Each structure stands twice: as C-alpha cells, then as structure tokens.
C-alpha cells in the first residue's frame, strides 16, 4: 500500500518542469513561497540551466524529496506518475500553459494553496494505474505501469491488425481494426474518450478496453473490474505506454495487463471538483 503522507514533515520538495521550456521565473517564485515555510526546493537538473538551486538526476530527486511538483501540463505529470508509483511519493501538478484535467492548480493560486497546504487543507487522490507484465522470448520479465493507457496499434497503415485477448487461458475477445486501447479510469478522458470510450470516475477500481476504428459494428468498449488479468496476443503490432514508451509486440512471448493493486498519490487543492472540471473542459450544458 501507499506510504502515509504527512504534510507536517515536509522539508524538501522536488520540482520537475516541462521539458524544453524556460520556466525559471515561475520556479524562482515557487522557491520563494516555499522558503518562507522553511521548505527547500530541489530541482531536476534538466529543468533549468541557470538557477542556483540544488539539482539532481530524476531518481536521486525522488529519493531526496518528500513529494514532487510537476510544473507544466498533463503530459509532464503523467510522465512522473510512473516514477512516483515506484518510489511511493506524492505529486502536485501545477499547470504552466493550458489547463488540463490533472494539473488544475494555477501558478497564481500557489501562494494561497501552500498557505492551506501547511495547515492540512488539501485533498489526496489515489487513482489506480495499469500494470503491464512483459515476458521476453528469453524468459526475462519486464514490469511497467501506465497512468493513462496502454495502446496496441498497427505497424502498417495499409493493413488492419488482429488482436486476441485472453482471460484464464480462454479467448475473451478478438479485435480487428486499427488497434486497441486499454485505459485506466484517469486515462478515460484521454485517447479513450476520442475513440468513443466511456468516461469513468478517476478513483473507480476498473479499467477499459476500447477498440480503435473496429471493422465490426458489434465491437464496443467494455469496463472490467480490478482482479481481471488479461493476456494480449497480436502480430505486426506495436504497444505504447502512456504515449511515451514503445515496444514491438513480436519481441515478447507473453503480454499481460490488469489494474494495479495500489494507486499513485496526487495532491489537489481542497476545493477541486472532478465533475466541474469535466463540465468546463467538455462544455457540458452549453
């Protein structure tokens, strides 16, 4: 299970900024806010080349920090969630640019947020991640996690892909088309949504299978509970983890997917309303 989060013991906070961005002014402002609280801001070494702050490689940053600030957009936060899951550290997403589904705290609201945070007035959410187990043809086991989704898609644009999904050794379903999305609840509003998959509440203990451009009108998305472990088989196909890691399916003897048994800890302002964010982002009621 996730380690207990104790805001009273926070002394060092790590920060990772959106790649290839100059956010020095924003980082300096955050450093000033935290310094007044007696908290040291540590920096991922690639987040700035000019600031005179203690900077570290990513693994060391996670080891030294009580929690991590993701400064950027949803993509930056998602890339850190897998590392946070590994180190059992919480993440606070602060958006610098377009407002996302996950990074809902704005820079101008950070002074107020940290005043409330150090009084214990904040929210913790622990959405479950997807677990991916890859077995190579040499018998080596690779374990990966995805915050949003694991996507299987065709390698050749002029052909469709056939994907077989098994449960307990029996065929569960077979998909013909452009690919298959396996999404977490948090990832239901990402690629899954654009492929007409369902929106699922972030903290639900389920995951989603959504076909991409299926060649059969009877193939529809399906929501499955935690505890279902699926094995996926396909040829001439690529799998992608959170849009950031790619693997050739043919290189593996076995590919298993399910929902993780623990979540990644996300820090939110106390007044964050998931359904209000959905209304604003999707223009519900307009």
Tell me the per-residue pLDDT of 221-268, one tens digit each, with 9 for 90 and over: 999 999 999 999 998 899 999 999 999 999 999 999 999 998 999 999
Q: Is the pTM of this model over 0.85?
A: yes
In percent, the amount of the chain with pLDDT more than 90 equals 78
User: Domains in the chain and their CATH numbers?
Assistant: 12-126+264-282 (3.40.50.10330), 129-261 (2.60.200.30)
Count Cα neighbours of 35 within 13 Å in the Cβ-side half-sphere.
Answer: 8
Instruction: Measure Cα distances from 240 to 124, 136, 145, 146, 158 in Å.
Output: 28, 16, 11, 10, 20
**What is the three-class DSSP state of 140?**
coil
Nearest CA to 214 out of 171, 154, 167 is that of 154
The per-residue pLDDT for 1 is: 37
**How does residue 98 score in pLDDT terms, banded at 50, 70 and 90?**
low
In percent, the amount of the chain with pLDDT more than 70 equals 97
The per-residue pLDDT for 242 is: 95
Question: Residue 3 and residue 111: Cα distance in Å, rounded?
Answer: 27
Taking the CB of residue 151, how many other CB atoms lie within 10 A of it? 25
The per-residue pLDDT for 2 is: 46
162 is in an annotated binding site: no
148 is in an annotated binding site: yes
Tell me the per-residue pLDDT of 180-206, one tens digit each, with 9 for 90 and over: 999 999 999 999 999 999 999 999 999
The per-residue pLDDT for 21 is: 86
Point out the residues that are catalytic.
Answer: 74
Mean pLDDT across 268-279: 89
276 is in an annotated binding site: no
189 is in an annotated binding site: yes
Q: Which residues make Cβ contacts (< 8 Å) with residue 121, sequence separation at least 6? A: 270
Mean pLDDT across 98-114: 85
Question: Residue 178 and residue 237: Cα distance in Å, rounded?
Answer: 10
Q: What is the CA radius of gyration of the chain?
A: 20
CA dihedral 52, 58, 62, 67 (to 10 degrees): 60
């Amino acid at each position: 299970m996730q380690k207990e989060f104790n805001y009273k013991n926070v002394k060092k906070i790590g920060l990772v900024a959106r790649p290839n961005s100059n956010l020095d002014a924003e980082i300096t402002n955050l450093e000033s806010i935290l310094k007044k609280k007696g908290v040291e801001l540590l920096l991922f070494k690639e987040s700035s080349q000019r600031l005179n702050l203690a900077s570290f490689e990513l693994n060391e940053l996670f080891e030294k920090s009580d929690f991590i600030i993701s400064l950027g957009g949803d993509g930056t936060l998602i890339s850190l969630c897998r590392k946070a899951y590994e180190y059992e550290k919480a993440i606070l997403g602060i958006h610098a640019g377009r407002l996302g589904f996950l990074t809902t705290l704005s820079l101008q609201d950070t002074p107020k947020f940290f005043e409330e945070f150090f009084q214990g007035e904040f929210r913790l959410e622990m959405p479950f991640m997807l677990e991916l187990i890859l077995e190579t043809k040499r018998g080596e086991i690779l374990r990966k996690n995805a915050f949003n989704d694991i996507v299987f898609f065709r390698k050749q644009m002029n052909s469709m892909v056939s994907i077989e999904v098994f449960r307990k050794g029996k065929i569960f379903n077979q998909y013909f088309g452009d690919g298959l999305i396996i999404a977490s609840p948090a990832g239901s509003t990402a690629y899954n949504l654009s492929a007409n998959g369902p929106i699922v509440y972030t903290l639900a203990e389920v995951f989603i299978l959504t076909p991409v451009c299926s060649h059969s009108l009877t193939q529809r998305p399906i929501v499955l509970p935690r505890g279902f472990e699926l094995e996926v088989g396909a040829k001439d196909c690529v799998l992608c983890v959170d849009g950031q890691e790619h693997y050739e399916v043919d290189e593996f003897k076995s590919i298993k997917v399910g929902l993780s048994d623990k979540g990644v800890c996300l820090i939110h302002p106390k007044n964050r309303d998931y359904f209000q964010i959905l209304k604003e982002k999707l223009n519900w009621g307009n």
